[in-house]
Amino acid sequence: MPIATMLDYDFMRSAFAAGLVVALVAGAVGYFLVLRHLAFAGHALSHVGFAGATGAFLLGLTPFWGLLALTLAASTAMGLIGERLRGRDIAVGVILSLSLGLGVLFLHLYTAYAAEATALLFGNVLAVSDANLRALAALAVVSLLGLAAISRPLIFATLEPELAEAKGLSLRLVSVLFLLIVGIAVAEAAQVVGVLLVFALMVSPAAAAQRLTTRLKTGVALAVLLALAETWAGIVLAYITDAPPTFWITLLSSGAYLVALLVPQRLEAASTRP
Amino acid sequence: MSAIELTKLTLRRSGRTVLSGVDAVIDEGEFIGVFGPNGAGKTTLLQALLGLLRPESGAISIFGQPPLHGNPLAGYMPQRRAAMAELRLTGWDVVASALDGHRWGLPILGAEGRRQVAWALETVEAVEFARRPIQHLSGGEMQRLLLAQALLGKPRLLLLDEPLISLDPRYQQAVVDLVKRVQQALHITVLFTAHELNPLLGAMDRVLYLGGGRAKLGTVEDVVNSAALSQLYGAPIEVLRVGGRIIVVAAHGEVEAHAHRHDA
Ligand SMILES: Nc1ncnc2c1ncn2[C@@H]1O[C@H](COP(=O)(O)OP(=O)(O)OP(=O)(O)O)[C@@H](O)[C@H]1O
Ligand SMILES: [Mg+2]
């Protein structure tokens, strides 16, 4: 299809708007997720969301709110476990698979259309409704304001937990607040790339950014830019080629990470200027 | 005024008494080396001074005040650095994270904040490598950054927990000398825990030995001798002086290995 007329379509405009909102949140929150070595926990959270979304189907509720509710509940639990969450890959993985299992059961009971399950699992950014978009934007504002409010202690607690504690900071409080924000970000990202591929928007861009710069603020900005560029480019490529946007986004985000890995150390030194 | 006063101080940790009935007075501006075997309670004592651990009984006074969680008068360099090693951030960012790091909001330093970070980095002579990712720093450079961090807010008391750990002897001496210079330039009180006495001999005013739940504070001559250490540890200890170095040996092996093991 001709690119020139792309923006004549409502669904395309909505897709770009949703992509913008979600990339802002996923990139920024993802940066701290990676910094705190919680990438896998974030991945698992989205799967818990899957059980929530399919459960909401069953109860006749909007799946997005079911996804968000269960994700936030799991975030709180993980936050309370706190620092000990690190290295708990097995426990997190068990919860992840249980959640997917429950999701499958709920889908079975609901006898849902495959299309709905696919959209949940792999996202469908080309089918974002206006109501959806408003909810995404409102949640993005909440999570970004929350992230701004906790960013200073979050950085301190992440880099220097022992010292932060000695200075009177509650590591557990920081951990719970941050994971609640992660919960929102995961629910948002799932709208674009689906619960299975939240990694592509939250982890890969952030990890690439951390390879490319050693400055914190530059890193956050770069993670957001990468997430946004990958999402928008993915939507455009899907429009041109007919392959789903999620495919393009995962391809671009993996590609960007790979390129970041290959960037020689020289560039790294150049990027350390203030 | 004295910097630290411990009165009949008893500290317990998970039901175990770590220190009991410790009395000590440390004057302002003193450089105190804190020694003792693994598990003697060096870290525990520092944490009590920081208000992280409440005394079971007895009292602690810091510049005339009880310990305060988040006390701005005390700069702290923790022993364990779980998160640090693989960080790809610059030393500057890591040091700066501690400036008012416990306050909510965005991490915007402002001109004054940047001045403070720059001052701390200059004080520990770390300016030249502060822009490099800390992943690529040597152990000695890393310790200098952590010292800079402890100096933010210009504390009057520095609590340094094992700054010499995993440094080779040359760097050990450099770190001790640096701390001594900083201490004298800023007129602050320093508690410096370590396993090895010798690198600190030229820098310390007095030593605090911990062992068997008790503590002994005094000059190197008064404390580091066979009679005093044997009494503290409740086991025969020999102290040898060889060419300006002091070697502490247990008569029956055991204590020495614990008392002065290098934690490299
Ligand atoms: N967070 C903790 N919770 C419970 N017990 C602890 C804790 N930290 C230390 N302990 C115990 O308190 C005792 C004193 O430990 P501490 O860490 O103060 O010794 P240390 O002199 O600093 O030893 P090291 O030379 O190994 O650093 C030890 O028996 C230790 O097992
Ligand atoms: Mg210790």
pLDDT of A267 strictly over 60:
no
Q: How confident is the model at residue A118 (pLDDT cuts 50, 70, 90)?
A: confident
What is the C-alpha separation between A107 and B53, in angstroms, rounded? Answer: 52
* pLDDT score at B50: 94
CA distance A143 to A121: 23
Closest CB from A150, A160, A269 relative to B104: A150
Question: Which range among A82-96, A147-161, A185-199 shows the weakest confidence by mean pLDDT?
Answer: A82-96
In chain A, what residues touch B132 (CB-CB under 8 Å)?
Answer: 214, 269, 272
- If you ran DSSP here, which 8-state letter would residue B51 be given? T
Q: Which of A135-144, B62-71, B104-113, B163-172 has the lowest mean pLDDT?
A: B163-172
User: Separation of B260 CA from ligand 2 center, angstroms?
Assistant: 13
Please name the residue of chain A whose CA is at the shortest distance from the CA of residue B72.
A167
Residue A170 has φ and ψ, to the nearest 5°, of -85, 110
Q: How far is the CA of B42 from the centre of ligand 1 (A)?
A: 8
Residue, of B1 and B49, whose pLDDT is higher:
B49
Instruction: Establish whether residue B40 lines the binding site of ligand 1, counting it when its CB lies within 6 angstroms of any ligand atom.
Output: yes
Contact B144, B124 (CB under 8 A): yes
pTM of the model: 0.89
Alpha-carbon distance values, B43 to B52, B109, B162, B201, B224 (Å) = 11, 31, 9, 21, 21
Does any CB of chain A come closer than 8 Å to the CB of residue B101?
yes
- For residue B16, pLDDT over 80 is answered with yes
CA of B81 to the centre of ligand 2 (A): 12
Residue B258: its pLDDT value, please? 41
| Ligand 1 neighbour B15 (Cβ under 6 A) | no
Relative to the CA of B39, which ligand 1 atom is closest? 19
Please give the Cα distance from A161 to B129 (Å, whole number): 23
What pairs with residue B74 in β-bridges?
Answer: B157
Report which ligand 1 atom has the smallest distance to the Cα of B40: 21
Mean pLDDT for all residues in chain A: 89
**Count of residues for chain A?**
274
Q: pLDDT band at B151, cuts 50/70/90? A: very high
User: In Å, how far is A32's CA from the nearest CA of chain B?
Assistant: 13
> What stretch of H or E contains A113?
none
**Sequential DSSP letters for A12-80:** HHHHHHHHHHHHHHHHHHHHHHHHTT-HHHHHHHHHHHHHHHHHHHHHTS-HHHHHHHHHHHHHHHHHH
Query: In CATH, what number does A10-196 get?
Result: 1.10.3470.10
**Residue B95 in contact with residue B148, Cβ under 8 Å?**
yes
**Every domain of chain A and the residues it spans:** 10-196
pLDDT band at B85 (very low <50, low <70, confident <90, very high): low
State how far the Cα of B205 lies from the Cα of B33, in Å rounded to an integer. Answer: 8
Report, as an integer, the average pLDDT of A58-79: 91
> Quick one: pLDDT at residue B162?
93
Strands (E), chain B: 2-13, 16-27, 31-35, 57-62, 74-77, 157-160, 189-193, 206-211, 214-218, 237-242, 245-250
pLDDT per position as a tens digit, A21-33: 999 999 999 999 9
- φ, ψ of residue A145 to 5 degrees: the values are -65, -40
More confident residue, A140 or A115: A140
B107 CB less than 6 Å from ligand 1? no
Give the domains, in start order, of chain B with CATH numbers: 1-73+155-233 (3.40.50.300), 84-153 (no CATH)
B100 at A interface, C-beta within 8 A: yes
Length of chain B (residues): 264
**Torsion A161-A162-A167-A171 (CA) sign:** positive
Q: How confident is the model at residue A69 (pLDDT cuts 50, 70, 90)?
A: very high
Mean pLDDT computed over A32-53: 92
Q: B56, B106 in Cβ contact below 8 A?
A: no
Residue pair A31/A219 in contact by the 8 Å Cβ criterion: yes
Average pLDDT for B146-152: 93
User: What percent of chain B clears pLDDT 70, i.e. is strictly above it?
Assistant: 93
**Does residue A270 have a pLDDT over 80?**
no
Nearest to A163 among B78, B87, B88 (CB): B78
